[in-house]
Structure formats: structure tokens, C-alpha cells
Amino acid sequence: MSARYDLSYQLRLLRARALRRSFRATTPIFDTLRSSFSTSVYDAEALILKAQNETGLRDFFTPPPKEALSALLSSIRANNTLNTIGRTALRVDVLRLLSNHLRLVELCRQNPNLARKPIFSPVFIMGLPRTASTFLHSMLILDPRHRAPTIAEVTYPYFALASPRGSNMRMRRALHWLDVLEPDFQNAYPSHPKSPQECSEILSNTMESLRFDSTYDVPEYLAWMDQRTHTGAYEFHRRFLQSLDHVSSGEKRWVLKCPDHVFYYQDLLRVYPDARIIVTHRDPGRVLPSVASLTMILQGLFSDRVEPARVAQRVLDRWILGAQRVIEIADSEHARSQRVLHVFYDELVRFPLPMLEKIYRFLETPFHGTTASKVREHLERSEVGSYRANRYSEQFQKLLPAAFVREHFRDYLARFDLREGEK
């Protein structure tokens, strides 16, 4: 039975709507309390000071996050669309990210050898979203020689280093409340505390992350992001991985994933010059409605004034640029040195084991029989993507019809021979 007609799903949606209405009804009270007792959610300096006071720490890595945070908050404020949940979540989120950053600096200060810990030839999976990259990631990390950051580790790194069980419990509670307030999130992006997390969440600790563009309507922030270098943010990313390695036994190869890397891949390669890049591909006509649905789910939780047509246009514009960046990667010096591999959706989902063997040859790593057995077991109990229908799916298929989308991606489709689309 589809999610649309499932009674349990409909009841969860009704509960979420009732909770949101109750939050809206208490908005004046929340705003009065916030103005009386809390730091303004749009005051970057005050939020930074509060995080410093709460942690007892003062130092950030260079560059410090003030400029990026100011750009983000200014853009959110300019569009003035956040509801009570959105303003509360933004404040909590920013303070958590700033605290993570401060604590990582302190960890590196106490352990100066961390900065010298090598990150050997990490693997970065990138490309258009919703191209089975999560499916690929989930298979690659079955290999005990590989390592990926989990959702709990990335969200609560300080607690994960001290008590992995404790960070998992915190994350489980957070995901529970997200599910209560927005039942479609798990339909569009199935998650649990030990799921591998995307790098956009690591980069969000620097306040330089396209994760914020998915959660909020921030066109000014996006323009600011595209006009600057993000080498410092990727340096932080490297320190973050080194800190997670601090409590790991043995050397494992990092296997990382984030579609957004395509926009700033040159900055990534300045920090990780020996990186191996795997680019995943699929017909954009099938990809973009799903991306827009997820964006609508995320932004709709934090705002009561999200316009589907605006979401569709912004997703289309963004990934037209993303497709151009993918072409640049394919033509780059990194690709000419045989350190970029292109993986196509249809081949990956139909023949996952042969594709994995190809990937392991690219990584110059033996594909052991024990790993192949784990992958077979994984394939028996999971499905590609595991995405289910959500209440926005049909709407965005109409706003972003496949033929219309493909017309805007002609160069990308021709470059990678995707003109026939995927099944």
C-alpha cells in the first residue's frame, strides 16, 4: 500500500499538523519569552558569545565562522519566512554547530599530533542527488577496511568521542521528534543514528554548507557561498575526520558522500589532492522532482510560506549549475590522472556486484570474498534508495516534468550519453 493511502501515515500527518497549529497558536508567547530572556536568533555575535560561554572555550579555526554565520542569518532574516519551529530550531542548531567547532579546536589543542594524522586517498562520492549514491555508499562501508562518519557522530561529535552509545541515544531522540513533526522526512530520506552522514553536515560546523540552502530559503547566502573559496571549510572537514580517527583502532580508508561537493570540488582537491572521486549519474528528469520534494519537506517544517513553484525553480537552477560542474570534473586534470570514476544508476542497481568490482579496481583495492558476501546479504534485506512516496511527489512531477527538465540538461545528457533516460 502506498504512503498516500496508508491509514497510519495519514494519522501521523494529522498529528503533525495539529502540533504545528499548536506551535503557531503560541507564537506570541514564544516570541515574548525569546525577546526577554534569549539571544536574538539573528545576532551572529551574540550567538557566538553564548556558545563560547556555554563551552568555556574561545578559539575557532581560521577562518572563524562569524562572516559565514552573519551571511546566513542575514539572508534568513531578509526573507522572513521562519515560523516558531523554524526560529527555535535555527537557534538550537547554530549553538550546537558553534559548540562543535569550539570543542574540535580544543581537542586539537590537547592532541597536537592529530593535525599530522594522514587521511590516505579518501573516496568522495558526488554528483546529482538521488542517483543511488546512498545505495552505493551503504555497500562500500560494509568493507571493514572502510570508514564513514555516522549521523550521530557528525551531529554530536563531542559526545560521540566520549560515549558513542550516548550520542546514538541523543540522535535517536532528535530523529523521533523530526518524525513526529514531519512524517514525510523518513519517507524521503530514511535515517537512523548509525546511518552514514553526508559531508554537508560536517561543513555546516563552519557555517559554510549548502545544507542551509536545503533547509531555508536563502538566495543571498547561496550567492555569497558561490563567490568565495571554501578551502578553509575543507580544512575543517579534514580536522573533523582526524578527530573521529582519534578514538579509532587501525587505519581505515574514509569513504564519504555528498552531492554538493560538485560545486566546490576545486577547494576539496586543494585539501585532498590524492582523493578518489566517484561521480554518480541518472536522468535528471527523474532526479529533480525527488530533490524538490525533499527540499519542500525540509523547508516546510520551518516555514509556513513555502511556495512549491519557487522551490521547483530554485532546484532546477541549482542543479543546472551542478551538472555543468560535473562536466568540468569529467574534463579536469584529476580525471585525466585516472582519479575520477563515473557510475551510472541503471548499471549500479541492476548489476551492483560487478559495479563494485569495477570500483575496487579503480580504488586499487582487492575486492575480498567476505565483502562480497556481506554485500549479497545487504542486498537481500534492502532496496535501492528505500525512498517511499510522500505528499509532494506528484506535485513536483507536474512542476518539473521529465521532458521539460531534460531540455535544460541537454549538455549533461549528451556528455554522459543519458539521452534515453533511466527506467
Measured from the Cβ of residue 172, the count of other Cβ atoms closer than 10 Å reads 14
Grade residue 20 by pLDDT with cuts at 50, 70 and 90: confident
Domain regions of the chain by residue span: 3-114+123-415
pLDDT of residue 36: 42
Fill in the amino acid letter for 283.
Answer: D
Record the cell numbers describing residue 242, joined without a space. 582526524
**CA separation for the pair 267, 215 (Å, rounded):** 23
Q: For domain 3-114+123-415, which architecture applies?
A: 3-Layer(aba) Sandwich (3.40)
For the ranges 17-26, 91-100, 238-247, the lowest mean pLDDT is seen at 17-26
Record the cell numbers describing residue 225, joined without a space. 557561498
**CA separation for the pair 202, 99 (Å, rounded):** 13
**Cell 510522500 identifies what position?**
390
Task: Say if CB 421 and CB 402 are below 8 A apart.
Answer: yes
**CB neighbours of 168 closer than 8 A, spacing ≥ 6?**
152, 193, 194
Record the cell numbers describing residue 246, joined without a space. 582519534
pLDDT of residue 37: 42
- Mean pLDDT, residues 350-378 taken together: 96
What's the pLDDT tens digit per position in 127-138?
A: 999 999 999 999
Helix (H, G, I), strand (E, B) or coil at 267: helix
**CA separation for the pair 220, 172 (Å, rounded):** 33
Distances from the Cα of 233 to the Cα of 68, 73, 171, angstroms: 10, 18, 24
**Cell 552514514 identifies what position?**
196
Q: What is the mean pLDDT of the chain?
A: 90
Record the cell numbers describing residue 48, joined without a space. 557566538
What's the pLDDT tens digit per position in 182-192?
A: 888 888 778 88
What's the pLDDT tens digit per position in 221-239?
A: 999 999 999 999 999 999 9
Q: Rg of the chain's alpha carbons, rounded to an integer?
A: 21
Closest CA to 235 of 183, 209, 272: 272
User: pTM, whole model, 2 decimals?
Assistant: 0.91
- Mean pLDDT, residues 314-321 taken together: 98
**CA separation for the pair 175, 182 (Å, rounded):** 10
- Mean pLDDT, residues 22-36 taken together: 58
Res 94 pLDDT > 50: yes
Task: Say if CB 180 and CB 16 are below 8 A apart.
Answer: yes
